[in-house]
Chain A
Amino acid sequence: MPDLLIELFSEEIPARMQGMARDTLRKMVTDGLVEAGLTYGHAQAFSTPRRLTLALEGLTAESPTTREERKGPATTAPEKAIEGFLRSTGLTLDQLEVRDDKKGQVYFAVIEKPGRAAPEIVAEVLEKTIRNFPWPKSMRWGAGSLRWVRPLHSILCLLTTEAGAEVVALDVDGITSGNTTEGHRFMAPGRFAVTGFEDYAAKLKSAFVVLDAEERAEIIWHDAQQLAFAKGLELVEDKGLLTEVAGLVEWPVALMGEIADTFLGLPPEVLQTSMKEHQKFFSVKNPKTGRIEGFVTVANRETADHGATILKGNLKVLSARLSDAKFFWEHDLRIVKSEGLEGMGAGLANVTFHNKLGSQAARIERIEALAREIAPLVGAQPDLAAEAARVVKSDLRSAMVGEFPELQGLMGGYYARAAGLPEAVAEACKGHYSPLGPSDEVPSAPVTVAVALADKIDTLTGFWAIDEKPTGSKDPFALRRAALGVIRLILSNDLRLNLAEMFEKGNAAADAADLLSFFHDRLKVFLKDQNIRHDVIDAVLAMPGSDDLTLVVKRAEALAALLKTEDGTNLIQGFKRANNILTQAEEKDGVEYSFGADPKFAEEAAEKALFTALDAAEAAIAPAMKAEEFGQAMAEMAKLRAPIDAFFTAVQINVDNQILRRNRLNLLSRIRQICLSVADLTKLEG
């Protein structure tokens, strides 16, 4: 069975698109081949900055012959019907067969599709793949109309069997397929021919191209670590950067350099960000001082001077960049020292936050007012929280954040300290955007928490008030993230907030009920990741106090724990049975059985025992619920399992004696009432 090798050779493909392109090439080609009736054993895709490669093993040499029979109109049918049949089958009248049918003679079409040779199918599938490749951004070049991510230069398409290699003939807008490719642009210029995948990979390696991105990443990581280690330093891990850099080189060569002393006073985050964003450098840390003291850059080649010229050039660029950063840092510190952090942010009055929500300054005023309200609820001093709120956005006007927006907050922390503001304020500057991602740490310092909540609630209620809610995949103002941030701040700090009240204070024009239900949806997603089922959450959300998320989660956790016990699951079944019988009876009789069952009509022992158990449960559950001892309350409720089970075994509800029947229905009603005081168990599934 032949092996297939495809290489699409182009000008430099953006690093960030290579991973997706590899997967897409594999999927589009293999799907196309399979759809055309071919099978294959194993498929592997590769990428370098200049090529996308697909290697398939064990492709079938041809697709099977297929035969299809189609019944047509009767021979006596109107001419038009027969013509239509001919059109749809692509046959002529003399190619049709006439067969006897129950109703007379009928035309039959027998369409036989002979199997096709693999090369024909491959050529067709590859051309289609190239023409329809879903690049995030594609372009035309020269005078042509073909689109690719950057100009496409050559197509290698080879089927290899034991007998030898055969080029699959293909012509896409003048680019004809062949069996040749190129190695490294500078270290091994010129084209060479290959005979199959092994030959291809080996020849590429001797032409200074490591085909596999994974392997390039390993080389980079290994060599960079060795370089750092040799100097007693350690490499700062950055997987995203590693993947990106592996997509920028075909022949990675790691080079290490030192950061000049004059820049070591810059905050480490500034050094790291500047080196990473502008230069794609890895940071190198001194484990003794914890400072970033060096960098590793990855060149795309070896040179006669072992990279000396390249390293010198990179150092020069770095020192120009860091001079800029140092200028920004010193400039910002001067401003902060002369005008204070609030002074630095004075220009925010002229910056629009959103055209319907006013300037950044107006937003800050709202956050300040809200932070003052929230402060006592989270154990922060209101004045301190307000002071922090006034300055947390000031660094948006700093030169450093202007250059590196991702350092917002962090720079505020540095500048707050430089301005001599209280540590709690500096912490709030740094931490009030948190938590951002799901793995981001949640702040716990009270002032930070107050401002972080105020900031997010202001944003959410503001956008709710102007009806700019997230829809589907569109969430341009990251409101889902803001809501999740509020949820995590509340839960991880065990805060007791009435969100509805907070929403009212945030922006009275916002639809608080709608926003709360948005929060509940986010909460469900969040708790699902903690393995709490959505129906469990629904059961507790139906209870009063659902805007107190800490309470909601405590209840949900207690209920989830209950459902893990045998007593718990059986109790739920018992409850449901009671509830079903009761509901049916109430519907049938048109009354509500909630009058209160009388123990004096209890006949059976199990019935009497249930009365006793319900009394005991009621007496125990109510105070436990009041004390928010939900586990306790659930446990008390679970004790009802045995009496309820025994009751249903021994006692018939719908008896002829109407007094007994009513009393028993009223008894079921007590079960319902007591159980529902814990959570809305009707919402539970299964």
Chain B
Amino acid sequence: MSKPAAPRSFQEIILRLMTYWASKGCAVLQPYDMEVGAGTFHPATTLRALGSRPWAAAYVQPSRRPTDGRYGENPNRLQHYYQYQVLIKPSPPDLQALYLGSLEAIGIDLDLHDIRFVEDDWESPTLGAWGLGWEVWCDGMEVSQFTYFQQVGGHDCKPVSGELTYGLERLAMYVLGIDHVMQMPFNDPQTAIPLTYGDIFRQTEEEYSRHNFDGATTEMLLRHFEDAEAECERLLAFPAEDPNSGKRIVMAHPAYDQCIKASHLFNLLDARGVISVTERQAYIGRVRALAKKCADAFVMTEAGGWTPETAAEQVGA
């Protein structure tokens, strides 16, 4: 079997990952339309890792880490970047082999490189989630995070989901042999209008770095945090029966949107440097409490594995 040719651009790597995971049976989803810190926050991972129903999804998630802003100057650090995320439940027995296949698909020759699975247990204090797994090294460079989810939102994951997270810029820079992220070809460099990563993102990195560190109004952020927190709890307090439709509708997703908002607002406040060390823990705890309530709500929905029968059993038990 001939090895795939080397990709020529950032987007080609993304497209190949899409094609690869689609061929392995994943639903190729689109990014979630909210500001999140990592691909894990997408409800397709956080919520769908819960409950008993099988799931297989892959997607790109634009992610924001306000404190990582470097005004577009650092070759490796960005406040806005892309993660590629795969979640399969239950985790298939050949997940490691499937993962290695995805590396080959994007042009990493497994005969020439040194791929290693190095212990790295994953934990998200804001999501009340943890799992065991590895960071995957290619020639000493971390190219992915590989995790078997054990708990999300305080709930045991049964069955267990296998989660793969690729840091796309870093991985692509490695595959394409680029030293500075801004110089990376975004589309095909041979095309009529070649665009680099910098053509697309240098200016926004500058703007958002300034915004995150100096521009954002902290009083407003604090207020919005409180609002999101209150709204999340309010939405979850509704009774399950919807009087308009007569259906059972738990608003787990809209509530979870508020949790995501609170988390991002916290990250912005952190970047603005207005959160002290002790307060930090308290804020993280508040977001976690929301995530936990959303998880509690989600498992009471159909997608979360709830059925009238299981509900009846629980009442009976």
Q: List residues of A whose CB falls within 8 A of some B CB.
A: 11-12, 14-16, 49, 137-144, 149-151, 153, 186, 248-249, 279-280, 297, 299-301, 303-305, 309-314, 316-318, 320, 323, 350-352, 355
Contact = CB atoms under 8 A, between A and B. Distances in A.
A320 B111 CA distance: 25
Given A186-B115, A304-B112, 6 more contacts: A142-B159, A303-B112, A309-B113, A310-B114, A313-B113, A313-B174
Most chain A beta carbons < 10 A, residue from B92, B110, B140: B140
Contacts of B92: 142
A317 B119 contact: no
A548 B199 CA distance: 71
Interface string B107-149: 0011111111111010000000001111000111100000010
B19 interface: no
Contacts of B76: 320
Contacts of A142: 90-93, 159-160
B23 interface: no
A313 B141 contact: yes
B90 A143 contact: yes
Nearest to B139: A313
B150 interface: yes
Contacts of A313: 113-114, 138-141, 174
B116 A139 contact: no
Contacts of A12: 116-119, 134
A310 B157 CA distance: 37
B75 interface: yes
A576 to B, nearest CB: 59
5 contacts: A15-B119, A304-B112, A309-B113, A313-B174, A318-B140
Contacts of A140: 148, 150, 157-158, 160
Interface in B52-79: 75-76
B111 A351 contact: no
A309 B131 CA distance: 32
A139 B139 contact: no
Nearest to B110: A186
B278 interface: yes
Contacts of B203: none
B191 interface: no
Contacts of A305: 112
Given A142-B93, A248-B116, A350-B276, A137 B132 contact: yes
Interface of B: 75-76, 90-93, 96, 109-119, 121, 131-134, 138-141, 148, 150, 157-160, 162, 174, 179, 276-278
Contacts of B174: 313, 316
Contacts of A137: 121, 132
Given A323-B75, A350-B277, A309 B119 contact: no
A301 B114 contact: yes
Nearest to A355: B278
Contacts of B114: 299-301, 303, 310, 313
Contacts of B277: 350-352
B139 A317 contact: yes
Given A143-B159, A150-B132, A300-B116, A11 B138 contact: no
Contact of A139 (B117, B119, B150): B150
Contact of B131 (A139, A311, A351): A139
A312 B91 CA distance: 34
Contacts of A352: 276-278
A466 to B, nearest CB: 16
Contact of A16 (B117, B119, B140, B148): B119
A15 B118 CA distance: 8
A174 to B, nearest CB: 10
A186 B148 contact: no
A23 B158 CA distance: 31
A172 B94 CA distance: 18
B175 to A, nearest CB: 11
B136 to A, nearest CB: 10
B250 to A, nearest CB: 25
A141 B140 contact: no
A153 B278 CA distance: 44
B274 to A, nearest CB: 11
B93 A139 contact: no
A11 B117 contact: yes
B119 A14 contact: yes
Most chain A beta carbons < 10 A, residue from B90, B116, B139: B139
A320 B278 CA distance: 32
A316 B177 CA distance: 10
Nearest to B140: A314
A139 B148 contact: yes
Nearest to B121: A137
B111 A186 contact: yes
Contacts of A149: 132
A309 B112 contact: yes
B96 A11 contact: yes
Nearest to B119: A14
A214 B82 CA distance: 42
B8 to A, nearest CB: 19
Closest 3 CB pairs of A and B: A313-B139, A14-B119, A12-B117
A634 to B, nearest CB: 55
A280 B112 CA distance: 20
A151 to B, nearest CB: 7
Contacts of A151: 91, 93, 148
Contact of B160 (A15, A141, A301, A318): A141
Contact of A320 (B75, B93, B110, B150): B75
A587 to B, nearest CB: 61
A188 to B, nearest CB: 12
Nearest to B109: A309
A153 B91 CA distance: 13
B196 to A, nearest CB: 19
Contacts of B116: 12, 248-249, 300
Nearest to A351: B277
Contacts of A323: 75
Contact of A317 (B90, B93, B140, B160): B140
B53 to A, nearest CB: 12
A350 to B, nearest CB: 6
Most chain B beta carbons < 10 A, residue from A49, A137, A141: A141
A11 B116 CA distance: 11
